[in-house]
Structure 1
Amino acid sequence: MNEVKPIKVVLIDNHPLVLDGLRAVLETFPHIEVVGTAGLALTGLEVAIKTNPAVVLIDINMPKLSGIEAIELFKAKLPDCRIVMLSMHDSREYISASVLHGASGYILKDVSTDEIVTAIETVAAGRTYFSSGVSDVLLERRPNEPANPLTTREHDVLTLLASGKSNREIAQSLSLSEATVETHRKNIKKKLGISTTAGLIRYAIDSGFSAADN
């Protein structure tokens, strides 16, 4: 029986208490291995290059180099590494900028330990994750929002996609086949002129889709 390898994680935060507390909590989970910590983004990059983690959790508001600015450096040096932003801010601008730069997740610092672990597991599996408070922001419609060119079903698919759902989960939620969901995704990309999933999520964030707007 093959032993499951733990998910290697690097933590980056310029607040020592937050860093130490998060590390102590995560180390109680046997399937997560904190392989390094850092108080600065560039120091964290050096640690990550040495340890090759599956996931990096990084605070947005960092001195010298912000977490958002650091994303592209991490993606350039460690293309397979998944980046999750840690933040006190649930602003649409921060979330949108993080996705645009290549982050796979965005979680608020006041979420439960279990949700942080879920975020790590989810992005390590190749998907995206937004914490509950962030999802609320994603699904808020801005006032005087212009109409979008998508059908109601495409709207539903994109809304769930922007909330971090996989094709399988979207299919289950909407009682569709995975093949149908994939067809909707292709049609959405074609209509919007967007070629990547990150681009679709950015569009959904900027457009303020709401699951109730059907």
Structure 2
Amino acid sequence: MTDARPISVLLVDNHPLVLEGLKAVLETYPDIDVVGTAGNVQAGLAVAAKARPRVILLDINMPQISGIEAIEMFQETAPESKILMLSMHDSREYISASVLRGALGYVLKDVPNEEIVRAIETVAAGNTYFSTGVSDALMQRRPKEESVSLPLTTREREILAHLAAGRSNRHVAELLQISVATVETHRKAIKRKLGISTTAELTRFAIEHGLHSTE
């Protein structure tokens, strides 16, 4: 059963103009409720402790404590909140560090407002979301020495890499020219073999083990 209530969102960004602009935009969407804003991590933690937002939209470049360092702090303060990173940088290092620390998504500041809203909705549902530039960065090849031996077939590794980059079953099916049902079958097999239950965990696993596209 889906939650019909508006998605409560906390905005954490140290640029006042960005913060107020984003707040004004999000408040025009009926399914989103901005429950607080903060210009630094400590203020954000205080708001999160009281408001318990479903999604925390967190800028990476924060003073004193970076957004990446703050992910675990927000998880301890409001464990039910989902973390969505907002950044100007599509650096693979930033993206990987964010996901490995527990963020469910990473969206670039220059994407259309509709995409930020879509990212919030996706993460609120417990799924991963990466904007286009971010997905491309995640799919970049890693050095060969970082590859590891996994109990997965070549096709399963390929599909896992695409899923880790935030691509849907349908998108993966189109890219690989196979059926959506086949992708879902592979996804279930991958989860079973790796002992993983969620897409977010699959994403972290793929990044941690340096999996990449074979394209």
- Name the TM-score, length of structure 2 as normaliser: 0.84
Read off the aligned partner of 2:134 and give its amino acid letter.
V
Structure 1 residues 57 and 211: alpha-carbon distance in aligned structure 2, compared to 1, 3 A threshold: farther
Q: Does 1:152 align with 2:154?
A: yes
Deviating above 6 A after TM superposition, structure 1's stretches of 4 or more consecutive aligned residues are: none
Structure 1 residues 208 and 44: alpha-carbon distance in aligned structure 2, compared to 1, 3 A threshold: same
In structure 2, the partner of 1:66 is 66
CA distance in 1, matches of 2:172, 2:16: 42
Moved more, 4-13 or 156-165: 156-165
Q: Does 1:209 align with 2:189?
A: no
In structure 2, the partner of 1:80 is 80
Residues 73-123 of structure 1: CA deviation (Å, up to 9, x unaligned): 111121110001111111111111111111111111111111100100000
Read off the aligned partner of 2:132 and give its amino acid letter.
S
| Structure 1 SS opposite 2:107 | strand
CA distance in 2, matches of 1:211, 1:98: 24
- Give, in angstroms, the shift of residue 50 of structure 1: 1.2
CA distance in 2, matches of 1:11, 1:146: 36
Gaps of 5+ in 2: none
In structure 2, the partner of 1:110 is 110
| Structure 1 SS opposite 2:161 | helix
In structure 1, the partner of 2:9 is 9
| Structure 1 SS opposite 2:46 | helix
- Give, in angstroms, the shift of residue 44 of structure 1: 0.6
CA contact (8 A) 1:140 1:208 kept: no
Structure 1 residues 151 and 133: alpha-carbon distance in aligned structure 2, compared to 1, 3 A threshold: same
In structure 1, the partner of 2:99 is 99
| Structure 1 SS opposite 2:36 | strand
Q: Does 1:181 align with 2:187?
A: yes
- Name the TM-score, length of structure 1 as normaliser: 0.85
CA contact (8 A) 1:170 1:181 kept: no
Residues paired across the two proteins, number: 206
Read off the aligned partner of 1:152 and give its amino acid letter.
T
Read off the aligned partner of 1:68 and give its amino acid letter.
I
Structure 1 residues 14 and 92: alpha-carbon distance in aligned structure 2, compared to 1, 3 A threshold: same
Coordinate RMSD, CA, aligned:
2.6
- Give, in angstroms, the shift of residue 49 of structure 1: 1.4
Read off the aligned partner of 1:36 and give its amino acid letter.
G
Gaps of 5+ in 1: none
In structure 2, the partner of 1:26 is 26
